Amino acid sequence: MASIKPCNRDILSAIQHKIDHKTKPLGALGGLEEIALQVALIQQTDTPHLTKPSMVVFAADHGIAREGVSAFPQEVTVQMVQNFLHGGAAINVFCKQHDIELHIVDAGVNADLPKYPNLIQKPVGKGTASFLSGKAMSLEACGQALKSGEEVTLKISQSGSNIIGFGEMGIGNTSSASILTSMLCRLPLRDCVGKGTGLNESQWQKKVDVLQEALDFHQLSPESDSIDILTTFGGFEIAMMAGAMMKAAELGMVVLVDGFIATSAFLVAHALQPAILDYAIFCHVSEEPGHKKALDFLKAKPILHLNMRLGEGTGAAVAYPVIQSAVNFLNEMASFEEAGVSEKDEVKPV
């Protein structure tokens, strides 16, 4: 498994000095300053650059989808994968807009997909088992998913990308994310269950009941091994995303975390390798109530608050230009010295 080192902070004060001496009042670029500092620390330079931004959407099916926990049937997963491959989904639009290279990974959808140029085929199975009455996947399948995720990231990194976003598609996967969030953040289940693709109140209550039944059946606790929690309640795309995220951090890439489901994969990665936090930028806060709680647990400050609840990596793609702006001001904005004004004499507050 990947081994992630915390970012070396020896150059932190030099980067902070560079940020503080730009031609602006101290701290006036707010969150952009924090992002610039973080990217500079990840790349260990005061002139960071973003190269070949990439997005990986991991898709897989979920046995739990057959228990009435989603507003949509399982078949929508493969239909959306085809939509991604034909360029018609929201994530296609935003990646195209920002020149982000989009890769789709079959992590285990319930169909045989033909070859496509941007389809990476790494299926672990034809969907997980329902975790209502058994584990979602075997330990071997989980290991295979984690390893495949690492391979996907390694290949993308070798193509010259140093910033990578993670998204997903899998009908029923907010159910996995809810339980993972509840367990890994030690929160009551109800607080982590949302309406997913659009359940009404009674359907939401049924989702809570099904997930509680699964929790009661398995009798795991937050102290349980995180791999055990992942194999029991996870999905192939969630496990693969966790492996891919860990590898990205190990390689010193900037990791863009999308919404509720991507964050649940991040929680698994974080439980295994806490230093991954140094490499992660949390791109938005989803409407799913468990997402805000997971971000609070991680003490993460998301960039965007747009009430989105789609997944696919859309929040990460939409946030990308903000990160680019952070890097650009650090590289291109003049300092007081360069602008020929003395900070002390002329631009001090009166």
Ligand X SMILES: O=C(O)c1cccnc1
Q: Which residues form the catalytic set?
A: 312
The option from ligand X, ligand RBZ, none interacting with 309 (CB < 5 to 8 A, set by class) reads ligand X
Q: Shortest Cβ distance from residue 33 to ligand RBZ (Å)?
A: 32
Which partner in ligand RBZ, ligand X, none is near 259 (CB below 5 to 8 A by kind)? ligand X
From the list 291, 251, 301, 236, the residue with the least C-alpha distance to 267 is 291
Closest CB 286 distance from ligand X, rounded Å: 3
Name the residue nearer to ligand RBZ (CB basis): 226 or 264.
264
Cβ–Cβ under 8 Å, residues 165 and 152: no
What is the four-CA torsion angle of 263, 267, 272, 274, rounded to 10 degrees? 90
- Cα–Cα distance, 218 to 109 (Å, whole number): 25
For the bound state, the minimum distance from the C-beta of residue 293 to ligand RBZ, rounded and expressed in Å, comes to: 17
Tell the smallest beta-carbon distance from residue 144 to ligand RBZ (Å).
21
**Residue nearer to ligand X on the CB measure, 185 or 251:** 185
Query: Which residues lie near ligand X (CB under 6 A)?
Result: 174, 196-197, 259-261, 286, 288, 291, 309-311
> For ligand RBZ, which is the closer residue by CB, 82 or 197?
197
Q: Please, which residue, 39 or 64, has the CB nearer to ligand RBZ?
A: 64
The runs of H, that is alpha helices, within 44-164 are: 75-86, 90-97, 139-158
Which of ligand X, ligand RBZ, none has residue 175 at its interface (CB below 5 to 8 Å by kind)? ligand RBZ
Distance separating alpha carbons of residues 207 and 98, to the nearest angstrom: 36
Residues in CB range of 246: below 8 A, 6 or more apart: 1, 2, 4, 146, 149, 150, 269, 272, 273, 276
70 binds, among ligand X, ligand RBZ, none (CB under 5 to 8 A by kind): ligand RBZ
Calpha distance 185→95 (Å, rounded): 31
Give which of ligand RBZ, ligand X, none residue 157 binds (C-beta under 5 to 8 Å, depending on kind).
Answer: none
Return the number of the residue (48 or 235) whose C-beta is nearest ligand X: 235
**Shortest gap between Cβ of 181 and ligand RBZ (angstroms)?**
13
Interface positions with ligand RBZ (CB under 6 A): 70-72, 76, 80, 168-175, 196-197, 310-312
Tell which residue, 323, 311, 320, has the closest CA to residue 84: 311
Q: Edge-to-edge strand order for the sheet containing 119-121?
A: 119-121, 101-108, 54-60, 163-169, 254-257, 280-282
Nearer to ligand X, 131 or 260 (CB): 260
CB 128 within 8 A of CB 231: no
Dihedral of CA 265/118/171/129: which sign? Answer: negative
| Least spacing, CB of residue 108 vs ligand X, in Å | 18
Distance (Å, rounded) from C-alpha 246 to C-alpha 252?
10
C-alpha–C-alpha distance, residues 134 and 62, integer Å: 13
- In the list ligand RBZ, ligand X, none, the entry touching 260 (Cβ below 5 to 8 angstroms by class) is ligand X
Least Cβ distance, residue 284 to ligand X (angstroms)? 8
Residue type, 143: G
Retrieve residue 117's tokens: 């140029």
Q: Which does 54 bind (CB under 5 to 8 A by kind): ligand X, ligand RBZ, none?
A: none
Closest CA to 31 of 302, 330, 308, 307: 302
Cβ-based nearer residue to ligand RBZ, 24 or 66: 66
